[in-house]
Amino acid sequence: MKYYLEPARLSNCSNKSCVMVHLFDTGTADSVMAEASSNTKSSKSDGKGTRSSYPPRDSLSQDEYQDVPEPHNTEEDYEEDDPLTLDTLPVELLMYISNFLDAKFLIHTLSKVCQVFHDLLTRDIYWKTRISKRWPKPYPPVYDEKFSWQEACIMREEQHKMWTNQEELCHHLKYREGIFAPVDAVHLMKNGRFLVSGSRDRYLNVVDLSKYDPENSSSIKQMKVYSNDKAHKGWIWSVASNSDDSRMCTGSWDTYIKTWDVWNDCTEINKYKCRSAVLSLHMEENTVIGAGYDQQIYTIDTRTNDVHRKKYHRRPVLSLKADDKYVISGSEDKTVAIFDRRAGHVYKTIQMESYAMDLSFGHQQLWISDKEGKIHLYDATLGQFEFIQTYDVGHTGKATGIIYTPGALFTCSTDKTIKILEPSRNPGPIQTLTAHDAEVARIFYQDNVLVSAGSDTCVGIWMPKSAF
């Protein structure tokens, strides 16, 4: 949807602060103009050099936020014949009008029109206020000094709009081609365009989602890029890829981790023998880290093919996440271990009441989903991993997957549901998806595309209609 702002001089209007704003394709032009004009009337001087009733006390005001630029024009500054344009409006009115426009349009288009708009729309205070007015819960859940309020606002508004208007904005399908058993692993690559799935029938499938055409039923078959029922000799339980998606790795109950050249007909590069099933994977440029059913953490140097094993759990390791500083693993022994990669040892162990099923780590946050269907939030700032709170988000089975993004928090469960939640403390519901007829084993999200691994022998796919 496109917006066009057109300032217009109203020569016959007695209120010289009135501005005409055309919002094409929104159906709100009349209401915005009326509200903007009405609020401007109430902002006239009360004779004491102050504005009487606008902005209201619960909106952004100069008293509360000193870094908002002072309006550089007053009504006395306007001559009778001077044209009134958007860039000469009081900052309060510009903010009011901006609230009717998409965040992406404001950031990528309007802020580049002139210096006035740029100064207003590049300040964090506008975006903090815009988010807090619509979603008042504490956000982000954990302070992050690198947090981008502009991008966060875009993501929150896009996710909320998408999931509350699914039929209008979202394609949904159940992909079953080359799948004959429950699916346990799903992964997205190349900005959500390519889907990789692994299932209990030993099939490894790669699908091009950009080829989907809802008007052409045969496009489902055309989406298949690669399918191999001999990729492993056991259930394929985990999939991961490196940062540029040039290579991927798979883990299976046949006790092997395999690496693949994705864009060369998914050619097998190498395979590494472990002592048990591989239940979770993390892949970097020259390293693969795997979580084993045998309680071991496997670290593989793909340049030398060296395999190193470490054991700091007493039961199978079900989930694993890592960055350049830490390897975090969750086990059936009801512990989550924080391994310091620089120091070379576990420096903190989190004791859980119920064991972790999945982890989400990033943005200075560690989210844990557990066997009882609860989710837990930890503050990972400076490596402290301090407990914040436990939340019951309504799952009645095991919470098998969790993914945090600045736009939304995603969870899935053996109760057959996927929940989209507000990405804040005490996350409230945005939407509950009930597309699967059996347990949901795993979810993956990338660039507004969500996929799920279903025990009903299919992969659930949700993607914006404008995605590709």
Is the per-residue pLDDT at 245 higher than 60?
yes
Is the per-residue pLDDT at 35 higher than 50?
no
In Å, how far from its chain's centre is CA 123? 23
Give dist(CA 200, CA 455) in Å, integer: 10
Beta strands in 168-246 (DSSP E): 170-175, 183-189, 194-199, 204-208, 224-228, 236-241
Lowest-pLDDT range of 38-42, 370-374, 385-389, 463-467: 38-42
Task: Label residue 59 by pLDDT band (50, 70, 90).
Answer: very low
Q: Give the start-to-end residue ranges of the domains of the chain.
A: 29-45+60-134, 163-464
Largest CA distance in the chain: 85
Is the per-residue pLDDT at 396 higher than 60?
yes
Task: Label residue 413 by pLDDT band (50, 70, 90).
Answer: very high
Find out whether 339 and 297 touch, Cβ atoms under 8 Å: yes
Lowest-pLDDT range of 1-10, 165-174, 275-284: 1-10
Segment 53-70 shows an average pLDDT of 40
Pick the more confident residue, 254 or 15.
Answer: 254
Find out whether 266 and 226 touch, Cβ atoms under 8 Å: yes
Taking the alpha carbons at both ends of the chain, their separation in whole angstroms is 16
Q: What percent of the chain has pLDDT over 90?
A: 74
Q: Do domains 29-45+60-134 and 163-464 have the same CATH topology?
A: no
**Given phi > 0 = left and psi -120 to 50 = alpha, else beta, which region is 335?**
beta
Strand 345-351, strand 335-340: pairing: antiparallel
CATH fold of 29-45+60-134 reads Monooxygenase (1.20.1280)
pLDDT, tens digit (0-9, with 9 covering 90-100), for 430-440: 999 999 999 99
Is the per-residue pLDDT at 383 higher than 70?
yes
Q: What share of the chain is helix, strand, coil (3-state, %, to 5)?
A: 20, 35, 45
User: What residues contact 34, with CB distance under 8 A and at least 6 apart?
Assistant: none
Task: Label residue 44 by pLDDT band (50, 70, 90).
Answer: very low
Segment 68-80 shows an average pLDDT of 50
Task: Label residue 82 by pLDDT band (50, 70, 90).
Answer: low
pTM for this predicted structure: 0.82
Pick the more confident residue, 189 or 86.
Answer: 189
Strand 247-252, strand 256-261: pairing: antiparallel
Angle between helices 29-41 and 91-98 (to 10 degrees): 160
- In this prediction, residue 254 carries a pLDDT of 97
Where does 163-464 sit in CATH, by number?
A: 2.130.10.10
Is the per-residue pLDDT at 259 higher than 70?
yes
Task: Label residue 76 by pLDDT band (50, 70, 90).
Answer: low
- In this prediction, residue 468 carries a pLDDT of 75
Is the per-residue pLDDT at 51 higher than 50?
no
- In this prediction, residue 89 carries a pLDDT of 84
- In this prediction, residue 283 carries a pLDDT of 97
Helix (H, G, I), strand (E, B) or coil at 118: helix
Pick the more confident residue, 307 or 63.
Answer: 307
- In this prediction, residue 467 carries a pLDDT of 80
- In this prediction, residue 466 carries a pLDDT of 86
Closest by CA to 332, choosing from 360, 291, 361, is 291
Closest by CA to 40, choosing from 89, 100, 83, is 89
**What's the whole-number average pLDDT of the chain?**
86
